[in-house]
Structure 1
Amino acid sequence: MGLKLMSLLCKANILLCALFVEALVSSAAVSDSSNSLDLSSDFYSLSCPNVELLVKETVSSASSFDPTLPGKLLRLLFHDCVVEGCDGSVLIQGNGTERSDPANKSLGGFEVVESAKRLLEVLCPATVSCADILVLAARDAVEIAGGPPVRVPLGRKDGLNSSASNVRPNMVDTSFSLDEMVRLFSSKGLSLDDLVILSGAHTIGLAHCNAFSDRFKEDSKGNLVPIDSSLEESYALDLAKKCKAGASSSVTVSNDPVTASFFDNQYYKNLLDGKGLFQSDSVLISDSRTKGKVETFSENQDSFFDGWGDSFVRLSSVGVKTGDEGEIRVSCSSMNG
């Protein structure tokens, strides 16, 4: 019936014909977005065509005032995706939520996601999910810090559940062995190569001293003494000095001691030099399954960047909600009433 009506309209009136075609296209787009289980890079091409530009401008503006934001946004996305999937559940405030768990207390970047959301609610109300905004913000943060541009599929819905009890069983601990990390990544559909590549996120960002305290012990005088021989001596002593006993729990150090604010392949060079901050970093060069990849990326940044794009897309596609599995939140910090 639609084709017959369109044919008659096109014969009778060119303008009505054009309007009818536009209506059919818009209807199809709405139907696809609400029923398809697949994400699409042009998901918002009709409903909010400037979404990527608006998010990027928000991240860029905020990063100009706080250069630590790229690392925070990238870490925020990882903590979201590995727990309930990439559904924005880590953004929810309140007792008993993912965000309230001690493992997430040091997360940052929430205000950037919320700022982008407020802007989009004015221009494209009830259209763009917080989950998609977070993915775009983390993607853009990497590029702003010097990393590669990545085209990401969109169309995620915001999750309807956020529970602190789900955090610890799904979170990578900085003291994990390679086998422990492989098991966790595999449970998310991520490969060993993804593990090595995504670990490269530690080329930016900060870490609190307690995140690597297992690599030191306190002597009788209250000084920290390195006990992990895989750490390069001068680097270990520098960390011990910065994180001396009695230091504030808010003390942080750069994940990458060489190019802290730049997304590059320096992380892999650091590993080979014995300057991996976490135990979970250092194990990548002590195992034959991953050492070769580390060496390749340390020598060839383009190879790392090429791999980063594919691995980032896979990470940002973990456990996504689409269709009726979620909602479009009005505010990223609370579920719709």
Structure 2
Amino acid sequence: METRPDVFSVLLFIVVLHSVAASPSYSSSSSANLSFTFYAASCPSAEFMVRNTVRSASSVDPTIPGKLLRLLFHDCFVEGCDASVLLQGNGTEQSDPANRSLGGFSVIDSAKRVLEIFCPGTVSCADIVVLAARDAVEMAGGPAIQIPTGRRDGMVSAASNVRPNIVDTSFSVDEMIKLFSSKGMSLNDLVTLSGAHTIGTAHCSAFSDRFQKDSKGKLTLIDTSLNSTYADELIKQCPADSSPSVLVNNDPDTSFMFDNQYYRNLLSHRGLFQSDSVLFNDERTRKQVEDFANDQVGFFESWGQSFFKLTSIGVKTGDEGEIRRSCSATNT
């Protein structure tokens, strides 16, 4: 089914506003201080400049949308959506092995440089990360979503905070539920936001636990929940002696299109990660996977709401944090 993202723009805007008004978790947190018109006076072209930067980068490298979306997840789940993942240095979040394969930093830096020329000291790196991921999804064919701004940049970034706060590809449904719940996210959010794997790529090591080496050193499938034909394709792409730099598309069918193919893949047992496959195998999440596989409109509507909640996790506003001059370092 083909869909036009612009059809959902107004609808998602209304749905999101309703969700904010109805949910105490929003009104009782710093996210209540975010605004849809935050930069209207101080930097009215802020969103345009970010969008244009993402569009230019994506036109050259089609993997950019997936990288920007993953960057957002790894930022918001650790310390909240405060651009702490962008800080460089020994012991920062970037130094954790789970973050060494992150990409898209150059896109954020490019947008920040432009914004510092036209609106110096005004637009936070945290807002840029959120807006860039939002725009990346839309440019890849996903829904257009209105997102409030006003986040400030955090000043703490520690590698020790990474592993306890992000989903590992080997997680069970129970482990993911526990982590999402700690961030104020529901089971519906878990299944919906897992749909981010409809774009992006992964290193072979991210799903190597589903295989093992036989006596001859060749990879063999040990996870019987994985489609055997698909497993053979993965083995061809990731032989036992493959380079650590080898990448595999999360979605083998529509690799660079943000759609509901991810859920269709789960129905045919072609989820790349174990954390994908368990969503169809578990009775608590199977029905929603089936619904999204058969209804892209429904997935897009749910994505708008869950994405809004994701980008509201632990935000800093008002006098909290700072507006960095450079996204890779604090001002002090």
Normalised to the residue count of structure 2, the TM-score between the two structures is 0.90
Distance 1:298 1:135 in 2: 26
Q: Is the CA contact 1:55–1:136 (under 8 Å) kept in the aligned structure 2?
A: yes
1:310-325 map, 5 Å: 310-325=305-320
- Partner residue, 1:20: none
What is the letter of the counterpart of residue 107 of structure 1? L
Equivalent position amino acid for 2:200 in 1: G
Give SS of 1:207's match. strand
Which residue in 2 is equivalent to 1:218?
A: 213
Counterpart in the other structure of 1:128: 123
Cα shift readout 1:172-226 (whole Å, capped 9, x = no counterpart)? 1000000000000000001000000000000000000000000000011111101
* TM-score, reference length from structure 1: 0.89
Distance 1:219 1:283 in 2: 25
After TM superposition, give the deviation of residue 241 of structure 1 in Å.
1.4
Distance in 1 between the 2:102 and 2:252 partners? Answer: 20
Asked whether the 8 Å contact 2:76–2:311 carries over to 1, the reply is: yes
User: Could you tell me which of 269, 272, 275 is aligned with 1:277?
Assistant: 272
Within a 5 Å distance, the mapping from 1:1-337 to structure 2 comes to: 38-337=33-332
Deviation sequence 1:131-169 (CA, Å, 0-9, x none):
000000000000000000010011000001001110011
Instruction: Compute the RMSD of aligned alpha carbons.
Output: 1.0
**DSSP-derived class of the 1:99 partner:** helix
Q: Structure 1, residues 95-148: CA drift from partner, whole Å, max 9, x if none? A: 100011111000000000000000000100100000000000000000000000
CA distance in 1, matches of 2:41, 2:320: 22
Three-state SS of the structure 2 residue aligned to 1:253 is strand
Change (3 A) 1:36 1:308: closer
**Cα gap change, 1:179 to 1:36, in 2 (>3 Å):** closer
CA distance in structure 1 between the partners assigned to 2:70 and 2:265 by the alignment: 20
Distance 2:31 2:67 in 1: 32
| TM-superposed deviation, 1:37 | 5.4
Distance of 2:220 and 2:206 partners within structure 1: 16
The 1-side partners of 2:206 and 2:192 are apart by 21
Q: Measured at CA, do residues 64 and 83 of structure 1 come closer, stay the same or move farther in structure 2, by a change above 3 Å?
A: same
SS for the counterpart of 2:141 is: coil
The superposition leaves residues 262-292 of structure 1 with CA deviations (integer Å, 9 ceiling, x where unpaired) of 0000000000001000000000011111100
Larger gyration radius, structure 1 or structure 2:
1
Q: What is the alpha-carbon distance in structure 2 between the residues aligned to residue 221 and residue 242 of structure 1?
A: 18
**Structure 2 unmatched runs, 5+:** 1-29
Task: Give secondary structure in 2 for the equivalent of 1:324.
Answer: coil
Contact 1:36–1:323 under 8 Å retained in 2: no
Decide whether the 8 Å contact of 2:219 with 2:235 is kept in 1.
yes
| Other structure's SS at 1:198 match | helix
Task: Give 2:179's aligned amino acid.
Answer: L
Hey, what's the Cα distance between the residues in 2 that align with 1:228 and 1:301?
29
Q: Distance in 1 between matches of 2:282 and 2:214?
A: 31
Amino acid at match of 2:39: Y
Q: CA deviation at 1:36?
A: 9.1
Q: Which amino acid aligns with 2:254?
A: T
Counterpart residue type for residue 215 of structure 1: R
State the 1:246 CA deviation: 1.1
After the TM superposition, list the runs of 4 or more consecutive aligned residues in structure 1 that deviate by more than 4 angstroms: none
